[in-house]
Structure 1
Amino acid sequence: MEARVSSSRPRAAVLEPDRLDEAATAFALLASPMRLHIMWLLLAAESDVGGLAERTRASMPAVSQHLAKLKLAGLVRSRREGRRQVYLVDDPVMAAAVRLLLDPSQARFQPRASISAPAYPASTTASSA
């Protein structure tokens, strides 16, 4: 009788539905390119709404709405600095996930060709005359 060799990888733990819901909610928030961009910018430096709006090229009300959602989920927090409200990342685990996905040194994702652009060079054959 042959002995069965076990895999060297540990078995995945069973996760509670609440834990999965919590993680799915956090990732759903980051499914928005704007919120992902805001998180990336806040990882580099704390900022107010005006600074984020300038760097994302979005309106201040739009950035403010995205920040409110991120804050409600506990991914960012704010503090008062004089008359300004300054935002910073408040979830180290999600910060690590964003860095892992977006850091250019990780080269996780390669730029994709536009859907409307051909995946191959245009034909350069000369027409016969």
Structure 2
Amino acid sequence: MPGHILPHSHGESMNTEHILHVISQTDNFQTVAESFKILGDPTRIRIFWMLCHCEECVINISAMMDMSSPAVSHHLRQLKSAGLIVSRREGKEVYYKAADTEQSRLLHIMIEQVLKITCPGN
């Protein structure tokens, strides 16, 4: 796309070539859209936020969320497939927590900024 000329100039100086290059990387934007789609459900946002602060099993998450274990498991599967949470098995119990990734940390911060809440213990 070198030498790409926009049909309408607003007189602003911008790096059009760089912007065009970045927006042409549709896979990157798809990844972001999928993350937001996963967090498009308020229950998943609540579960994700909680797991940013503690490691819990399905039964305890179900009790805290006042939901059935199968319903919580459904949300956990989606969060895990998006890479936002991880799990570990200890005997028969599976424990979940937020993934230690930049994406999870940024989404955690964003949720707290939007809701104007702080981490427990802060």
| TM-score, length basis structure 2 | 0.70
Q: Per the alignment, do residues 36 and 94 of structure 1 end up closer, same or farther by CA in structure 2, a change over 3 Å counting?
A: farther
User: What residue identity is the alignment partner of 2:91?
Assistant: G
- Verify: 1:63 aligned to 2:77, yes or no: no
2:60 is aligned to 51
Shift of residue 91, structure 1, vs aligned partner:
5.1
Distance 1:25 1:53 in 2: 25
Q: SS at the partner of 1:14?
A: helix
Runs of 4+ that moved beyond 2 A: 4-7, 91-103
Structure 1 73/91 Cα, relative in aligned 2: closer, same or farther at 3 Å? farther
Unaligned runs of 5+ in 1: 111-129
Structure 1 Cα separation of the partners of residues 87 and 28 of structure 2? 26
In 1, distance between residues paired with 2:103 and 2:66? 24
Larger-gyration structure (1/2): 1
Percent identity between matched residues is 33
CA RMSD of aligned residues (A): 2.4
Structure 2 segments unaligned to the other structure (5+ residues): 1-10, 117-122
Count of aligned positions: 101
Amino acid at match of 2:48: M
Higher helix share: 2
TM superposition shift of 1:98: 3.2
Show the counterpart of 1:26: 35
Residue in 1 aligned with 2:49?
Answer: 40
Q: 2:61 is matched by which residue type in structure 1?
A: L
TM-superposed deviation, 1:41: 0.7
Whether the 8 Å CA contact 1:36–1:98 is kept in 2: the answer is: no
